[in-house]
């Protein structure tokens, strides 16, 4: 579940490999955008009906990712500095999402809601299948620029979050309490904060390089 961000030589990124890879990445982003938008609708409805904070958290995450993929498509053909600025904005958004989830978990804990475990399990399994599929499509771009890496990190973390939702469903079913659901929501919020830090740090490094490019000998 590490969200460490490593620096990469841009000469080895998919974006630098040519128009063919850029076109493939664009197609993958469109697929990811449509799937995430659909899953946002499915999870937001199911989360409210089941009373599950972790499903609602995952729904907000799907929505955020759909927006993220849309932004990535918008700046894909722009200069590196604009892709890095977009990644920085996405990193800040991910961090805001993490804060929101932690606050929502605390609010729900005070009200003692017990979610519907079967709905959590069924929707969590569907969400996991979608995110694993998207993660496989994006795997080749995990070592790209900050914009590409932020997309990969979001999808990877989502798959981890889906596994946690499934565990929460088992916990709710076994204990008859809402605490497993709240615990998973809290973990998802913290994971978002770690990913936010990683993406922001990578984007800032790229922006520093753009502002002060190395001098030619």
Lowest mean pLDDT among 5-9, 76-80, 187-191: 5-9
Architecture of domain 11-200: Up-down Bundle (1.20)
Average confidence score pLDDT of the chain? 78
- What phi and psi values does residue 78 have, to the nearest 5 degrees? -85, 175
Residues across the chain:
217
- What phi and psi values does residue 42 have, to the nearest 5 degrees? -60, -45
Query: Do 172 and 53 touch, CB atoms closer than 8 A?
Result: no
Distance (Å, whole) CA 75 – CA 85:
10
Instruction: Quote the pLDDT of residue 174.
Output: 93
Distance (Å, whole) CA 107 – CA 69:
30
The candidate with the shortest Cα–Cα distance to 58, out of 45, 70, 68, is 45
Instruction: Quote the pLDDT of residue 109.
Output: 84
Q: What is the mean pLDDT of residues 92-114?
A: 83
Q: What is the pTM of this model?
A: 0.67
How do residues 120-155 score in pLDDT, each as one tens digit?
Answer: 999 999 999 999 998 888 887 776 666 677 677 777
Q: Where are the domains of the chain?
A: 11-200
Q: What is the mean pLDDT of residues 85-99?
A: 82
């Amino acid at each position: 579940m590490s969200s460490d961000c490593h620096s990469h030589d841009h000469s080895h990124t998919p974006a630098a490999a040519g128009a063919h890879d850029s076109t493939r990445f664009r197609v993958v982003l469109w697929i990811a955008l449509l799937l995430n938008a659909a899953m946002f609708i499915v999870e937001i409805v199911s989360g409210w009906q089941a009373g599950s904070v972790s499903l609602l958290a995952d729904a907000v995450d799907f929505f955020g990712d759909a927006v993220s993929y849309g932004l990535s498509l918008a700046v894909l053909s722009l200069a590196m500095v604009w892709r890095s600025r977009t990644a920085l904005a996405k990193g800040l958004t991910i961090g805001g999402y993490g804060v929101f989830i932690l606050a929502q978990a605390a609010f729900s804990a005070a009200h003692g809601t017990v979610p519907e475990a079967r709905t959590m399990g069924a929707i969590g399994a569907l969400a996991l299948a979608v995110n694993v599929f998207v993660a496989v499509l994006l795997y080749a771009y995990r070592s790209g620029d900050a914009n590409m890496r932020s997309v990969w990190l979001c999808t990877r973390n989502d798959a981890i979050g889906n596994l946690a939702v499934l565990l929460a469903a088992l916990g709710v079913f076994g204990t008859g309490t809402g605490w497993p659901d709240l615990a998973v929501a809290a973990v998802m919020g913290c994971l978002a904060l770690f990913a936010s830090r990683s993406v922001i740090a990578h984007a800032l490094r790229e922006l520093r390089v753009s502002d002060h490019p190395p001098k030619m000998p």
